[in-house]
A and B are shown apart, each in its own frame.
Chain A
């Protein structure tokens, strides 16, 4: 209804402008009226009044801004999408990807003596620019002292605040329930970063520091390589790998098999070593989501813990800082801090 009205207004503007220009020209060309023609004054005044009203009317219609017309004229939404068909499970139902992170098994790679392996693998797999940790291992204090590690990817909200605010449909939810970003459409307004309550979005503040081979990749929102300046990036949950039957980089690299990836529709998930029934696993372990009270409905679940299953002492705090391994960077690239 609104688009239709606006379209009508647009037509009125165009017609109005044409009429206006025509009349103005005609007036310019007409010889000046005799000043004291008896009787003509009344007619002249009436004509003048009509002409004037018309001009005013046109100006008032002009108050409907022409700038929004392209948007108004579109009848359906225009949101970016991946070119790929969604993955389907048994019975042809679209997979609903999910991730479960079992914090009982996460020691922040303290036992490995390395920076968190999930973060490193993600960076290497996606050629993610420094300082982006799409899956970031936060360290949080526990109620009775000591700390826990919380690997935090994008939580793939089903009520995603970022998607809701995007002005151009550059960030979008896929049928598989994953939130992706089309960096070829993103305008860099950063309202999605303002809207994300989990600090899971990253901006390319300049030409991103990535290795030269990144430029050889075929770009797709599914893997976001190569990164481009002035656009937003984040964890994409590796839907391309999942479709190919492989686990995301972070899960492949986890030395403690703390992260599960699966399909809610088929109710199955795996950490690469064992397979679990998602619903039973979540219930049995009283899984939770981050900031559940916000109503964002994340697709990433957590099982509470502080690495106890792999023998971590919660009072040994700290983890090694993440490193970006490229020796050589694309020319002209610059590094920034988060």
Chain B
């Protein structure tokens, strides 16, 4: 039993360490992020003052960067579900050290994504109309329902497995942290003492929620795609859009998880728990999704491109040869082909290789959201000269603030909450340990 206890003690220290001290670098980071957010807020006040005229959008491309960023953020929110629910359901033991990070990315990305919608509204002062006059027939209401359900469900799903770790923080950090934090831990730990009854209840609750949350997550990006798929626009009018968006969401979710993991691992020296195995396993998932994305792309573009209905030729020319060609081919080569190769080739199947692939995938998926949103709107609906959309400094600033907000919330979170699921990792470790011992004794007997 000794090695397990040792392991547990070291793990606990590693989890507690980020929550104890706040370094100067951290304050520099927070200050930097706050500056970016303040600048974004300034840009937003400009927009509130003058109206959406300060953006590059006009009647013929009426959705721009904001909606693309919304789709991107909601996409990466799928990190949590995949890792913590799907891998939990399939009993993939290696997932334990990374679940907390994944679940947190989910919640933060949802918050950042949803705020983009408010920024995009012509009348944010009438936001309440969505609740007062909401129509279930509108895809936007489906989004409101799906995203708010997913947000509350992911909050609960982030919180419940954290209860034992919060109790650990409550006991371990008593007296070492300010009073408000002690009080916070005590309140959130719900009187957890690790009693058998509490354990049974918790495992049962997690067991139910991990099943429930999977269809919710799938529904979220499906209905996000239906905002586009429910229109008659060339490029959006597609039955495969739900699948394309869900696959892309999980794809970019894994990539974001890999990046955040790599950063936290480096900063907080979690090398013992977040190992090359985690990166490589997530890398395999990424590689699988590059193939799924290629397949869906082929299905979409071949079935429409073969027939070339009205408007399709225009769309294809601008996408593959015209002004979106650079973006499209970056997405296809840089975001699908190269990351896939980086993971398939044994020499680059390393932490560095997987992180590189993940960065490429995230960039490419952002670009993909952008060209899907913009290029379809550029196809002229009537005999007029196509409109050229370029995001303005206001849009870029608010986008930057959104990213900064994403990083800021995560940075603050790791300082306050346990970033690893200690009890789950220990259980996993004990399980492997016991398994090893069992095998060893079996060998002895032979």
Give A contacts to B, CB under 8 Å.
24, 27, 45-46, 48-49, 51-53, 55-57, 59-60, 62-65, 67-68, 70-71, 77-80, 136, 138-141, 150, 152, 161, 164-170, 185-191, 193-199, 201-207, 229-232, 294, 296, 334, 336-338
Contacts and interface: CB of A to CB of B under 8 A. Distances in A.
B158 to A, nearest CB: 11
A24 B190 CA distance: 8
Given A65-B148, A161-B232, A206 B50 contact: yes
A188 B230 contact: no
B20 interface: no
Contacts, number: 219
A203 B198 contact: no
A206 B53 contact: yes
A167 B141 contact: yes
Q: Which of A78, A205, A229, A230 has the most CB of B within 10 A?
A: A205
Interface string B123-137: 100110111111111
Interface string B304-321: 000000000000000000
Nearest to A67: B148
Contacts of A231: 122-123
21 contacts: A49-B195, A59-B159, A60-B156, A64-B152, A164-B137, A164-B230, A165-B230, A167-B135, A168-B130, A169-B135, A170-B129, A185-B126, A187-B121, A188-B122, A194-B62, A195-B233, A199-B381, A201-B59, A205-B57, A206-B51, A230-B52
Nearest to B196: A45
B201 A56 contact: yes
B212 interface: yes
Contact of B151 (A65, A194, A296): A65
A230 B122 contact: yes
A167 B52 contact: no
Q: Which of A65, A231, A334 has the most CB of B within 10 A?
A: A65
Which size class do B's interface residues fall under?
Answer: 35 or more
B195 A45 contact: yes
Q: Which of B144, B191, B200 has the most CB of A within 10 A?
A: B191
A193 B59 contact: yes
A62 B152 contact: yes
A60 B209 contact: yes
A331 to B, nearest CB: 14
A229 B124 CA distance: 11
Contacts of B438: none
A168 B134 contact: yes
B52 A60 contact: no
Nearest to B153: A63
A191 B205 contact: no
B191 A191 contact: no
Contacts of B384: 138, 199
A324 B424 CA distance: 69
A165 B59 contact: no
A77 B141 CA distance: 13
Nearest to B136: A71
A52 B138 contact: no
Contact of B50 (A67, A78, A167, A334): A334
A138 B381 contact: no
Given A49-B200, A62-B156, A294-B232, A336 B135 contact: no
List 6 A-B pairs, minimum CB-CB distance, nearest first.
A188-B122, A49-B197, A230-B122, A65-B148, A206-B51, A167-B140
Contacts of B132: 70, 78, 168
A191 B373 CA distance: 12
